[in-house]
Structure 1
Amino acid sequence: MTEVDDARARILEKAEQCFLAHGYSRVTMDDIATELRMSKKTLYRHFSSKEALGEAAIEAIFARIREELRAILEDERRDFGERLESFARTLTGHYARGAAVLRDLQRDAPALWQKLLELRRQSIQARFGAFVAAGVKAGALRSDVEPRLVIRMVLTLVDQLMRPDVLAELEMTAEQLFPRMLGVVLDGIRTKPEGRPPPANKPRGPRT
């Protein structure tokens, strides 16, 4: 790692800590420079604005999240259900830790909010798509499942529901909502145990 890379890494780490502790809106470039015992001139040499620093911090966070999800989804020592639970717990854990920052971004920094939504979609699409395909191959999900359709459904629900304003309206936390949302989607595509009786309200065929 070069000296420049090291400086950028330290700045990003401190910025993330400050944003998580105080929210994005309340933190200034002066605050970050002071925390780092660094001159503002040096700070601006690496990041031209607070928004540029915020965007880089978001990208760094999602790079870590993608690695965590990759490790979970590729861990074949655990079955589909265990990996799904860990997947949901990891995503909602990150969401909960950054709840104040997310509210700030949605309210005060629309460009960064849109960047975050874009990266979130990419992370779910890249990791969850492979997970669904693996679930079909392992027999945990129905063989007629189209992974691309499931991903699109999940992405739509995440975009519409996993938002600070919607969670506040529903009076739910991300930890409560996300597993239920996934359950609604996946319960319909899981394989059913053999010999299970058909539902009582199954439509009958036409009389002859």
Structure 2
Amino acid sequence: MTAPDPTAPATPELRCRILSIAERLFREIGYRKTTVADIAAALRMSPGNVYRFFPSKKALNESVAELLLGEIEAELARIVERRDLDVAERLRAFLSALHGMSAERFTVDRRMHEMVEVAITENWEVCRRYRTQINGLLRRLVVEGMETGEFAAGDPKVAADCIQLAIVRFCHPALIAQCDGEPGPGVDEMARFILDGLRPR
């Protein structure tokens, strides 16, 4: 493979390849140990080519995080859009998928977990956007449930905020790792508890 021409257009395909290699190296040698030079070497290009897409290592890190979070968000949006399930079933599937995908992507792999811990501790912008998106998807389900009568009438924003707070143990990477094996309700039990609170009296 020859090195890309530094004067060639910065294509979306090349950007995706850079992110894919960065994610792979984060998992193989660790988030902190991976340098832009390592990523460039794996792609057989100069670090300058990487910096054409990402002005700093932090920008590259945030883009990898955004890629991983975007995969979760896309699956949750797909669940929200389903019409073969009622709202309660979709909310249950939403919470189960959020927990399962968060655990799989951010806690099983300790090297990737390191990056996620830093992202949360430093409150990266991508994390703030992700939380906002998750809240918006929850609110859509709550609004629909109130409109169909599955859920009691109320303030959908407050309800979505409460659900998001109630499930933090099941989607926050550090808490998933810390609470693994600890006594307490599972995500299915929490989903039942939340749905009981949402249903009309």
TM-score by length of 1: 0.73
Greater shift in the superposed pair: 41-50 or 17-26: 17-26
Looking at structure 2, the residues matched to 115 and 63 of structure 1 have their Cα atoms a distance apart, in angstroms, of 14
Q: Does 1:43 align with 2:50?
A: yes
Deviation at 1:136, TM superposition (A): 1.7
Report if aligned partners of 2:106, 2:116 keep a CA contact under 8 Å in 1: no
Alpha-carbon offset, residue 147 of structure 1: 1.2
Query: 2:106 pairs with 98, 103, 115, which one?
Result: 98
Q: Report the counterpart of residue 171 of structure 1 in structure 2.
A: 180
Q: Give the drift of 1:129.
A: 0.4
2:118 aligned with 1:110 = no
2:31 & 2:127 partners in 1: Cα distance? 16
Partner AA of 1:118 in structure 2: R
What SS does structure 1 have at the residue aligned with 2:61?
helix
Residues 117 and 159 of structure 1 are in contact (CA less than 8 Å); yes or no, is this contact kept in structure 2?
no
The structural deviation recorded for 1:41 is 2.0
The code of the aligned residue for 2:78 comes to A
Instruction: Give the 3 Å change call, closer, same or farther, for CA 166–128 of structure 1 in structure 2.
Output: same
Structure 1 residue aligned with 2:62? 55
Unaligned runs of 5+ in 2: 1-8
Instruction: Quote the Cα distance in structure 2 between the aligned partners of 1:161 and 1:103.
Output: 18
| Aligned equivalent of 1:131, options 141, 154, 158 | 141
Instruction: Indicate whether 1:148 and 2:157 are aligned.
Output: yes
Contact persistence 1:15–1:32 (CA under 8 A)? yes
Q: Which amino acid aligns with 2:199?
A: R
Q: Distance in 2 between matches of 1:117 and 1:108?
A: 7
Q: 1:190 aligns with which of 166, 178, 199?
A: 199
CA deviation after TM superposition for structure 1 residue 123, in Å = 1.8
- 3-state secondary structure, aligned to 1:8: helix
Tell me how many residue pairs correspond in the alignment: 187
Distance 1:115 1:94 in 2: 21
One-letter code aligned to 1:145: G
Percent of aligned pairs with the same residue? 28
1:19 aligned residue (26, 51, 54): 26
Quote the RMSD (CA, aligned, Å): 2.9
Shift of 1:79: 2.1
Instruction: Report the counterpart of residue 5 of structure 2 in structure 1.
Output: none
Equivalent in the alignment of 2:166: 157
CA distance in 2 between partners of 1:107 and 1:63 (Å): 18
Residue identity opposite 2:13 in structure 1 = D
Stretches of structure 1 that go unaligned for 5 or more consecutive residues are: 193-208
> Of 116, 120, 123, which residue of structure 1 is paired with 2:130?
120
Larger Rg: 1
Q: What is the TM-score with the length of structure 2 in the denominator?
A: 0.75
| Matched-pair contact (CA < 8 Å) for 2:88–2:195 | no
- The Cα of 1:159 is off from its aligned counterpart by 4.8
For residue 201 of structure 1, what is the aligned residue in structure 2?
A: none
**SS of equivalent residue, structure 1 residue 154:** helix
Cα deviation code 1:148-199 (max 9, x no counterpart): 11111123334576434433443349xx75444443332211246xxxxxxx
